[in-house]
Amino acid sequence: MTLQEIALEIEKYMPLNDFLNTHKRLAELRSQEDEALKALAQLQQAYLAAATDQQRDAVKTMVGQIREISRETRLEIRSLNTTIHSRLPLDQAKELYARYTETEKV
């Protein structure tokens, strides 16, 4: 399939730019969520290595901040997925996006 054919198929469900922007944002958000999980794992080690209550409290504060950011990230991911799902199944959207990006690279 050509890029134009895939774009036409996507446009049956939603405008191409909206579709692409939504998927790019989802990729960014998933990357942020992965980074947050890595940071939480590192903070767990920092908490175990903390020698004082002050250090442990500082780690707890950072964990709370990261969890809040992560919660907001997951909410946005759910919202974007809901937007896509209202127009086509998520599996189909992922497949179309993958085909579009692979064809675009060629």
Q: Rounded to two decimals, what is the model's pTM?
A: 0.88
pLDDT of residue 27: 97
Structure token pair of residue 32: 């942020």
Burial class (CB in 10 A: 0-12, 13-18, 19+), 10: buried
Angle, vertex CA 30, rays to CA 10 and CA 101, nearest 5? 35
Domain boundaries, the chain: 3-105
- pLDDT < 70 regions, the chain: none
Closest CA to 80 of 9, 3, 34, 14: 14
Note the pLDDT tens digit of each residue in 55-85: 999 999 999 999 999 999 999 999 999 999 9
d(CA 30, CA 16): 21
Beta-carbon contacts of residue 10 (< 8 Å; ≥ 6 apart): 16, 19, 96, 100
